C-alpha cells in the first residue's frame, strides 16, 4: 500500500472538490506527486508540500466559487482608469459617511494585526530563524547526562578530558569544541588603561570560532599553541567591547592588554553578528574571549565545559549520539575509575530555544486567537451593516449599476478600512517589539535582535484584508439578480435582516465568547502561577540587601591568605556606619550554581547514588546578612578555622532527604577530598536555583575550610537607602584593595525580579491578549444586540402596545445575551481545558483544570456581556409603541 | 469562436505532443521541464476547466492501477476537433507574424 497524504488537508480537499467531476482525479494527481516527494525529499517535506497544495487549491476554489456566484469574473472586464478613480472616490465617501464604523473596524484590525505581528516577530529569531553561524543545522550541543531535575551547570557541563577524548575517538564530527560554562566566575580586571575595570571573559577551546564558522572582523582565531596550558596570552575582543573601549580602532590588533596582571595580546575582533552571551548565556555579559586549554590541568577542575560539535555531512544527531555512547562505554571500560563520562547530543538550535518554546508557542496561539477574534468581529460588524448596504446596493443596481462595478466599490471600501487597520497595527507592533526587546533581552536568548518582522506584519494585514473582503461581499451577494425590488420592499418596512444573517452573527458572537473564554482562563492560570511563584518562601529576605561581586586585584599564595584577605575586608565593611550585617558567599541565590557528588560515611554508596549537593561557601555573617533562619544547631563562626575540625550546615530539605526521621546534627558527609564534614547546623530552605525549583540538598561550607572559589559575592544588609549604602561600602572596599573594581553593585531584590522576569513577560503579554479578547467579545455582543434591537423596534413597539412591560422587553434582550454567552462559555471551557494542558509546563502551584479560575473568568465574561447588553436593552425598554410603528 | 490564451495554447500543445491521452500530472511535468515555467496546480486545473468550457478539450475518468494514486482514477485528456482548429489558427497567426519579422528573427539577431 502506498503512503497516504496527511488526513486533515485530504479531508479539506475532498470537501472542496466534492462537486467537481474531476475531483477524484485531482486527488489522485496530488497523491501521486506526494508519494514521489516522500522518496525524493523525505516525509516531512512531502507533508508540508501537501498542506500547501491543499490550502492553495482550496482558497483558489473558494474565490472562484464566490466570483461565479456573483455571475461575472471581474478580471474579464477591464475598467478604465476613470471609472476606477470614481469607485475610489465613492468608497472614500462611503467611509466618510460612516466614520465611526470605519474607525472602529480599523481599530479592531489594528489591535489584532499589532498583537500578532509582535508575537511572531519575537518568535522568529528564536524558534524559526537559523542561528547566526555557518550551516547552523549541523551544529549540536553536547551536554553531560544531567539527572532530571538537576538544573545546575555542573549537571550539563563536562570535564575537559571528555572533549579531548571525544575529539580523538568520535568520527561523527567535523569539529568538536567547547567553552568554559563557569566563565562568569573568572572575573578579569583590566589595568594599565585608565581606571581599573571589571570585565567578563569567556574561556573557549582554541578552535571554538572555527567550528562555529565565525568570520572575524579583524585578525584571526586562536592557534593551537595559544590554546595549550601555559601558552602565550591571547585575547579576542567582542565587537561591542572593541567599540566601547577602543572606539573601533583597528590599531588595537597586536596591542597587549593587562588582564588580572597578565599580558595578553589582542589577536582578533569578533563580528557584530556573533553575540556570545545572547546565544549561549543570555543576561551574562561577555567582553572578550580567551583560550581555555583542553588539558589535564583543566580536567582536574571537574565539570566545566559545554561542548559544541559540528556534524559531518550525512550524520544525524541520533547517529552521533550512538557513536558517542559507544565511545563512552569504551573509555569507561578502559578506565573504570573515571567519573563524569557521559554525553547527550541535541541540535544547538533546539537547545538555545528549548526552554522558551512552550511560552512562545503559547503566546503565538494567543495572538492567533486574538487575530481570529478580530476577524470574527470585523465580520460581525460588516454583517451588521449588510441589510443597510443591501438596500443601497439594490437601489444602485435598480438604477443600472453593473454588478462588477458594485462589487469593486464594496471591495475598495473594505480594502481601505483594512489598510488603515494595518497601518495602526504596524505602529502598535513597532512599539510593542521595541518594549519587548528592552525588557526581555536579559533572560531570553537573542531578544536584542528582535525587530518588527515584515513577513508577520504582511501576514496579519493579509488576514485582516481577506476577512474584510470576504465579508464585504455579503451585501453584494445578498441582492440576487432580479430581486432588487424584493430587497427594497423588505428593507422599506424596516424589517429584520434575513434569518440566516442573524443566525450567522449569533454564531460569530458565540465563537468570540468561546475564544475569549479560552484565552482568559489560560491567562488566569498563568496569573495564579505567577502569584504562586511570588508567594514562594525564597528562604531569605530580599529587601535592604545590596551585593557586590568581588575580584581582588592581587594573586594569593595560599587559601589561608585568601581567607585572611576576605576576613579583613568583611570586618572593614562591617564598620561602615549603617551596615547591620556583612556576608560573603561564592554565589548568591538565583544566580550561578554548581553541584558536587558526596557520600555519607558508613553508608553504602549505592543508596545515595547520583545525588548531588549544592555547595555554598560562606562567611559566618552570611546567614544574618541574607536573613536566612538557622533552624537548629549553631551557625558557622570564627572558631571554624583551617586548623579546626571541618564543619558544615545543611538545609532542612537536605537533612530530611539524607537522614529521614533521624537527627542530622552530628552526622557527617564526605566529599572527594576524603575529609569528613560534621553537620553542626540546620538552615531554613533557600530556593537557590529559581523560585520554582525544589531547594534540593544544600550544604554551607565555611570559607576558611573550603577554598574552591574564584570570586566571591559580598552582601550587605542595612537600613540606609541602597545607593547611599553602596557609595560608602565601595569606598571602604577601595581602602582594602584600591585596584579592585567596586562600582558595580546590585540589590538582592533586583535578582529576585530578574528570576521572575520571563514569567512576568509571558503573563504581561497574555493578559494584554486576554483583555483585548474580552473587549472584542463585549463589542461583538453589543453590536449584535444593538442591531437586533434596532431591527426589532417595530415588533417591540407592537408588543408593548399590546401590554408587554418594559421589564419583559429588557428580560428578553438580556435572556438572549445570557444564552449566547452561556453557549460561548461552555465551548470556551473545553478550549480552556485543552489550552491548559498545552501550557502545563508553565503552570506552578495550580492545576490545568483549576475550577476557581474557570468560574472567575466565566463570571467575568457574563458580567461583561451583561454590561454590553445594557444599552440595547434599555433602548428597547424605552420604545414607545406609536413611535416605533411610525418609524417602521 | 473563443480565442486561446498563451498558457491555454501551451496546455493544448502539450496534450497533443504527448499522444496517448495524457493526464494532468504529465502535462504539468512537460510544461515545467520544457516550457521553462512554473506551473501551479490551481492554474493548470482552472485552465483545463476553461478549455473544456470552451469546447477545446474533452476528458474521461479512467480507473488507475498505479498504486501511488491510492485508488483514485485518472483524468485522460483529449483535444477536440474545435481545439485542433483553435491551435491551428493560433499557429497560423504566429507564423504570419514571424514571417513578417524577416531578417530580424530573434534566432538570427
Mean pLDDT of A319-323: 87
Secondary structure of residue A683 in the 3-state scheme: strand
Tens of pLDDT, residues A717-758? 988 888 888 888 888 888 888 777 777 788 888 888 877 776
Q: Please, which contacts does B15-19 make with residues 24 or more away whose CB atoms are closer than 8 Å? A: B15/B57, B15/B77, B15/B78, B15/B79, B16/B79, B16/B84, B16/B87
pLDDT score of A819 more than 80: yes
Cβ contact B73–A24 (<8 Å): yes
Contacts with A314 (C-beta within 8 Å, 6 or more apart), sequence order:
none
More confident residue, B51 or A355: B51
Residue whose C-alpha is closest to residue A720's, from A541, A624, A575, A579: A579
B2: contact with A, CB 8 A cutoff: no
Phi then psi for residue A328, to 5 deg, are -60, -45
Confidence of residue A826 (pLDDT cuts 50, 70, 90): very high
Query: What DSSP letter does each residue of A598-638 carry, written as one string?
Result: -B-TTS-GGGGTT-EEEEEEE-TTHHHHHTPPEEEE----T
Chain A nearest-CA distance from B40, in A, is 9
Query: Are residues B24 and A29, on separate chains, in Cβ contact within 8 Å?
Result: yes
Could A26 and B24 be called an inter-chain contact, meaning their C-beta atoms sit closer than 8 Å? yes
Tens of pLDDT, residues A51-98: 888 888 888 877 776 666 554 444 444 445 566 667 777 777 776 777
Closest-CA residue to A191 (of A107, A260, A275)? A260
**Is A31 close to B23, i.e. CB distance below 8 A?**
no
Residue A520's closest CA among A222, A185, A859, A753? A859
| pLDDT at residue B79 in the model | 92
Cβ distance A25 to B23 less than 8 Å, yes or no, reads yes
pLDDT of residue A78: 45
Cα angle value A735/A736/A740 (rounded, 5°): 95
Kindly indicate the confidence band of residue A488, based on its pLDDT and cuts at 50, 70 and 90. Answer: low
B42, A4: Cβ pair inside 8 Å? no
Residue B40 sits at the chain A interface (C-beta within 8 Å): yes
**Min Cα–Cα distance to chain B from A2, Å:** 5
Residues A402-431, mean pLDDT to the nearest whole number: 79
Q: Is the pLDDT of residue A356 over 90?
A: no
pLDDT at A680: 93
Does residue A590 register a pLDDT over 50?
A: yes
Neighbours of A690 (CB within 10 A): 17
Contact state of A25 with B74 under an 8 Å Cβ cutoff: yes
pLDDT at site A724: 84
Q: Is A82 in a helix, a strand, or coil?
A: helix
**A42 pLDDT above the threshold of 80:** yes
How many whole angstroms separate alpha carbon A584 and alpha carbon A619?
Answer: 5
- Which residues does chain B have within 8 Å of residue A33's beta carbon, measured at their own beta carbons? 25
pLDDT number for residue A276: 79
- Chain A partners of B48 at a C-beta cutoff of 8 Å? 22
Q: Among A4, A22, A29, whose Cβ lies nearest the Cβ of B25?
A: A29
**Of the ranges A356-370, A820-834, A839-853, the best mean pLDDT one:** A820-834
The SS3 call for residue A661 is coil
Distance, CA of A846 to CA of A426 (rounded, Å): 36
What ipTM was estimated for this complex? 0.87
Interface A-B: count of C-beta contacts within 8 A:
61
Q: Is the pLDDT of residue A681 over 90?
A: yes
Contacts of A265 (CB under 8 A, 6+ apart): A232, A233, A234, A235, A254, A255, A256, A257
Q: Which of A28, A56, A57 sits opposite B72 (nearest CB)?
A: A28
Distance CA A385, CA A42 (A): 49
Which pLDDT score is estimated for A817?
82
- Determine the distance in angstroms separating the CA of A61 from the nearest CA of chain B, rounded to an integer: 8
Nearest to B73 among A2, A25, A56 (CB): A25
Closest CA to A31 of B63, B66, B47, B37: B66
3-state secondary structure labels for all residues of A331-377 = HHHHCCCCCCCCCEEEEHHHHHHHHHHHHHHHHHHHHHHHHHHHHHH
Q: Which of A757 and A424 is assigned the larger pLDDT?
A: A424
- Grid cell 478550549 is found at A831
Sign of CA dihedral A394, A395, A396, A402: positive
For residue A153, name the pLDDT band (cuts at 50, 70, 90): low
Q: By CA distance, what is B22's nearest residue in A? A: A29
The whole-chain average pLDDT of chain A stands at 79
B86 touches chain A (CB under 8 A): no
CA distance A777 to A376: 10
Percentage above 90 pLDDT, chain A = 7
**Closest CA of chain B from A30, distance in Å:** 8
CA atoms within 13 A on the CB side of A190: 18
Amino acid at each position: 500500500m502506498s503512503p497516504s497524504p496527511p488526513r486533515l488537508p485530504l479531508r479539506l480537499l475532498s470537501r472542496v472538490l466534492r462537486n467537481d467531476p474531476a475531483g477524484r482525479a485531482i486527488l489522485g494527481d496530488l497523491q501521486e506527486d506526494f508519494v514521489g516527494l516522500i522518496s525524493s525529499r523525505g516525509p516531512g517535506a512531502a507533508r508540508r508540500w501537501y498542506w500547501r497544495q491543499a490550502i492553495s487549491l482550496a482558497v483558489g476554489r473558494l474565490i472562484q466559487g464566490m466570483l461565479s456566484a456573483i455571475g461575472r469574473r471581474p478580471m474579464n472586464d477591464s475598467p478604465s482608469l476613470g471609472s476606477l478613480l470614481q469607485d475610489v472616490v465613492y468608497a472614500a465617501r462611503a467611509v466618510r459617511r460612516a466614520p465611526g464604523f470605519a474607525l472602529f473596524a480599523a481599530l479592531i484590525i489594528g489591535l489584532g494585526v499589532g498583537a500578532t505581528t509582535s508575537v511572531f516577530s519575537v518568535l522568529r529569531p528564536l524558534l524559526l530563524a537559523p542561528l547566526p553561524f555557518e550551516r547552523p543545522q549541523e551544529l549540536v550541543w553536547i551536554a553531560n547526562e544531567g539527572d532530571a531535575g538537576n538544573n545546575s551547570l555542573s549537571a550539563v557541563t563536562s570535564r575537559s578530558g571528555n572533549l579531548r577524548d571525544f575529539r580523538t575517538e568520535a568520527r561523527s564530527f567535523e569539529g568538536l569544541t567547547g567553552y568554559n560554562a563557569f566563565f562568569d566566575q573568572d572575573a578579569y580586571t583590566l589595568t594599565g588603561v585608565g581606571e581599573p575595570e571589571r570585565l567578563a571573559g569567556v574561556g573557549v577551546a582554541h578552535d571554538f570560532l572555527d567550528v562555529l564558522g565565525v568570520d572575524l572582523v579583524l585578525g584571526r582565531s586562536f592557534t593551537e599553541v595559544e590554546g595549550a596550558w601555559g601558552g602565550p596570552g591571547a585575547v579576542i575582543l567582542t565587537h561591542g567591547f572593541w567599540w566601547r573601549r577602543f572606539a573601533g580602532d583597528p590599531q588595537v590588533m597586536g596591542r597587549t592588554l593587562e588582564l588580572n596582571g597578565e599580558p595578553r595580546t589582542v589577536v582578533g575582533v569578533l563580528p557584530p553578528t556573533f553575540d556570545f552571551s545572547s546565544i549561549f548565556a543570555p543576561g551574562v555579559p561577555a567582553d572578550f574571549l580567551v583560550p581555555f586549554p583542553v588539558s589535564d590541568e583543566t580536567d582536574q577542575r571537574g565539570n566545566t565545559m559545554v561542548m559544541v560539535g559540528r556534524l559531518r555531512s550525512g550524520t544525524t544527531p541520533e547517529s552521533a549520539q550512538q557513536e558517542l555512547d559507544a565511545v563512552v562505554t569504551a573509555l569507561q571500560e578502559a578506565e573504570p575509575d573515571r567519573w563524569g563520562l557521559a554525553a547527550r547530543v541535541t541540535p544547538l538550535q533546539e537547545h538555545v530555544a528549548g526552554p522558551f518554546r512552550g511560552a512562545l508557542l503559547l503566546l503565538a496561539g494567543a495572538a492567533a486567537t486574538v487575530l481570529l477574534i478580530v476577524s470574527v468581529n470585523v465580520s460581525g460588524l460588516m454583517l451588521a451593516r449588510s441589510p443597510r448596504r443591501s438596500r443601497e446596493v439594490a437601489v444602485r443596481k435598480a438604477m443600472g449599476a453593473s454588478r462588477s462595478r458594485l462589487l469593486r466599490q464594496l471591495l475598495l471600501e473594505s480594502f481601505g478600512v483594512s489598510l488603515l487597520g494595518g497601518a495602526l497595527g504596524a505602529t502598535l507592533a513597532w512599539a510593542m517589539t521595541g518594549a519587548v526587546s528592552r525588557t526581555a533581552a536579559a533572560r531570553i536568548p537573542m531578544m536584542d535582535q528582535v525587530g518588527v518582522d515584515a513577513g508577520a506584519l504582511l501576514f496579519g494585514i493579509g488576514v485582516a484584508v481577506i476577512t474584510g473582503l470576504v465579508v464585504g461581499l455579503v451585501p453584494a451577494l445578498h441582492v440576487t439578480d432580479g430581486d432588487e425590488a424584493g430587497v427594497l420592499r423588505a428593507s422599506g418596512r424596516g424589517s429584520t435582516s434575513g434569518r440566516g444573517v442573524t443566525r450567522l452573527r449569533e454564531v460569530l458572537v458565540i465563537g468570540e465568547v468561546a475564544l475569549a473564554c479560552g484565552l482568559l482562563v489560560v491567562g488566569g492560570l498563568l496569573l495564579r502561577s505567577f502569584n504562586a511563584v511570588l508567594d514562594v518562601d525564597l528562604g531569605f529576605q530580599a529587601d535592604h540587601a545590596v551585593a557586590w561581586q568581588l575580584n581582588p586585584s592581587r594573586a594569593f599564595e595560599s587559601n589561608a591568605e585568601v581567607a585572611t584577605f576576605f576576613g579583613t575586608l568583611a570586618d572593614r565593611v562591617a564598620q561602615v556606619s549603617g551596615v547591620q550585617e556583612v556576608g560573603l558567599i561564592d554565589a548568591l541565590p538565583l544566580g550561578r550554581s554548581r553541584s558536587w557528588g558526596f557520600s555519607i560515611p558508613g553508608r553504602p554508596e549505592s543508596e545515595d547514588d547520583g545525588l548531588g549537593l549544592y555547595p555554598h561557601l560562606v562567611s559566618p555573617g552570611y546567614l544574618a546578612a541574607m536573613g536566612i533562619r538557622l533552624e537548629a544547631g549553631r551557625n558557622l563562626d570564627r572558631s571554624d578555622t583551617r586548623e579546626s575540625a571541618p564543619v558544615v550546615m545543611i538545609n532542612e530539605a537536605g537533612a530530611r532527604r539524607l537522614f529521614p526521621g533521624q537527627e542530622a546534627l552530628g552526622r557527617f558527609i564526605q566529599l572527594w577530598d576524603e575529609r569528613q564534614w560534621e553537620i553542626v547546623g540546620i538552615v531554613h530552605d533557600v530556593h537557590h536555583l529559581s523560585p520554582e525549583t525544589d531547594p534540593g540538598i544544600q550544604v554551607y561550607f565555611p570559607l576558611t575550610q573550603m577554598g574552591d572559589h574564584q570570586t566571591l559575592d559580598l552582601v550587605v544588609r542595612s537600613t540606609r537607602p541602597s545607593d547611599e549604602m553602596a557609595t560608602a561600602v565601595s569606598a571602604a572596599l577601595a581602602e582594602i584593595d584600591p585596584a579592585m573594581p567596586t562600582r558595580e553593585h546590585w540589590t538582592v531584590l533586583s535578582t529576585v525580579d530578574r528570576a521572575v522576569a520571563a514569567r512576568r513577560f509571558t503573563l504581561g503579554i497574555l493578559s494584554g491578549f486576554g483583555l483585548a479578547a474580552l473587549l472584542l467579545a463585549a463589542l461583538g455582543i453589543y453590536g449584535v444586540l444593538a442591531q437586533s434591537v434596532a431591527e426589532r423596534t417595530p415588533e417591540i413597539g407592537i408588543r408593548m402596545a399590546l401590554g408587554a412591560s418594559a421589564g419583559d422587553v429588557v428580560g428578553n434582550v438580556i435572556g438572549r445575551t445570557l444564552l449566547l454567552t452561556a453557549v460561548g462559555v461552555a465551548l470556551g471551557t473545553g478550549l480552556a481545558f485543552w489550552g491548559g494542558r498545552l501550557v502545563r509546563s508553565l503552570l506552578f502551584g495550580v492545576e490545568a483544570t483549576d475550577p476557581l479560575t474557570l468560574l472567575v473568568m466565566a463570571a467575568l465574561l457574563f458580567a461583561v456581556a451583561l454590561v454590553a447588553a445594557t444599552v440595547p436593552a434599555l433602548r428597547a425598554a424605552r420604545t414607545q409603541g406609536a413611535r416605533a410603528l411610525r418609524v417602521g | 469562436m473563443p480565442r486561446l490564451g498563451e498558457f491555454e495554447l501551451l496546455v493544448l500543445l502539450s496534450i497533443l505532443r504527448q499522444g496517448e491521452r495524457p493526464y494532468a500530472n504529465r502535462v504539468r511535468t512537460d510544461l515545467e521541464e520544457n516550457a521553462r515555467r512554473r506551473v501551479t496546480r490551481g492554474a493548470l486545473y482552472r485552465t483545463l476547466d476553461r478549455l473544456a468550457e470552451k469546447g477545446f478539450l474533452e476528458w474521461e475518468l479512467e480507473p488507475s492501477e498505479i498504486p501511488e494514486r491510492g485508488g483514485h482514477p485518472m483524468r485522460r485528456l483529449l483535444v477536440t476537433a474545435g481545439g485542433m482548429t483553435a491551435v491551428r489558427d493560433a499557429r497560423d497567426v504566429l507564423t504570419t507574424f514571424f514571417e513578417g519579422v524577416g531578417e530580424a528573427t530573434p534566432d538570427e539577431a
